[in-house]
């Protein structure tokens, strides 16, 4: 198959709740706001979307709403679990997606060989493009550059969202990946530096709050205008930092609630952030807008 080139700024969408239920009206409005801001692609049902706390019906409706409001943008749906059988089941359930984001299996702590065999098996179960997701802070295990590059040779594994924060590891993937394999920053504050090294973009949490500013940063960097990208990076750094002073997506939901877009509600085991964090996010948003 021809590789599907994934690039630019994609938003790891939050899932709004109201009274314990998914607030689909608010979700659709958030997607509309992303599209209006010029976002390049959309990523529902990831960790930012509290997906482990969603049931199958909710997942399907969220994906369908994303596709309905995406106006033709690529939709990359999170389907990864720590079970091959369940990940494949999610791919069947969410077949309306354009691409699948698959996280390194969490809790199990697979070896490099186990990671390779797992992702090879996942890729063999679909004709759609698969994006690897390395986030050792959440999964408890790192995917090395060697493993990522070996997986990059599989035709329909087309990209990696790299959130290890290991600059040497990530740049090794960028420099040695086969043609058409994209490396996307998984951390907002790494985006500029990684794009200077050849990364294709970012899957962003901060763009839930400031999509148009993240688009400007990424488009400037992609065009080689690193001066403008650097200015935008400095403007956004307080947001990048403050979105993670408590567990994601607690701060970003506080920011969106302060802007009036959603209720500040999460599903257990996550809870609304501390009042001090809410106040910080409120001031952070005010400073941007």
Distance in angstroms (rounded) separating the CA atoms of residues 7 and 201: 5
The candidate with the shortest Cα–Cα distance to 244, out of 252, 235, 234, is: 252
- In a 10 Å sphere around its CB, with 0-12 CB exposed, 13-18 middle and 19+ buried, how is residue 256 labelled? buried
Contacts of 246 (CB under 8 A, 6+ apart): 273, 274, 277
In the chain, % helix, strand, coil (3-state, to 5) comes to 50, 15, 35
Q: Tokens for 48, please give them.
A: 């930012």
Q: Is the separation of the CB atoms in 75 and 67 below 8 Å?
A: yes
DSSP state of 80: -
CA distance linking residue 237 with residue 234, whole number of Å: 5
**Residue 105 contacts residue 80 (beta carbons within 8 Å):** yes
User: Which residues does the annotation mark as catalytic?
Assistant: 133, 161
Backbone phi and psi for residue 17, each to the nearest 5 degrees, phi listed first: -125, 155
């Amino acid at each position: 198959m021809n590789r599907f080139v994934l690039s630019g700024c994609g938003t790891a969408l939050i899932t709004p709740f109201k009274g314990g239920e998914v607030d689909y009206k608010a979700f659709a409005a958030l997607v509309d706001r992303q599209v209006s801001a010029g976002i390049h692609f959309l990523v529902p049902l990831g960790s930012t979307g509290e997906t482990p706390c969603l049931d199958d019906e909710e997942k399907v409706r969220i994906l369908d709403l994303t596709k309905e409001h995406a106006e033709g943008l690529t939709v990359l749906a999170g389907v990864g679990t720590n079970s091959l059988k369940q990940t494949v089941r999610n791919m069947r359930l969410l077949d309306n997606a354009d691409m699948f984001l698959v996280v390194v299996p969490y809790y199990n702590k697979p070896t490099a060989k186990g990671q390779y065999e797992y992702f090879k098996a996942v890729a063999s179960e679909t004709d759609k493009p698969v994006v690897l997701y390395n986030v050792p802070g959440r999964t408890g295990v790192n995917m090395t550059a060697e493993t990522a590059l070996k997986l990059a040779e599989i035709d329909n594994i087309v990209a990696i969202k790299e959130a290890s924060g290991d600059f040497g590891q990530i740049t090794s993937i960028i420099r040695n990946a086969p043609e058409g394999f994209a490396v996307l920053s998984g951390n907002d504050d790494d985006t500029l530096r990684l794009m200077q090294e050849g990364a294709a973009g970012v899957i962003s949490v901060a763009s839930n709050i400031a999509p148009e500013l993240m688009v400007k940063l990424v488009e400037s960097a992609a065009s080689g205008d690193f001066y403008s990208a650097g200015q935008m990076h400095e403007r956004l750094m307080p947001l990048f930092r403050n979105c993670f002073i408590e567990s994601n997506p607690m701060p970003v939901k506080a920011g969106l609630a302060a802007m009036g877009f959603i209720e500040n509600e999460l599903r257990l085991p996550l809870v609304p952030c501390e009042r001090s964090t809410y106040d910080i996010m409120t001031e952070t948003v005010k400073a941007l807008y």
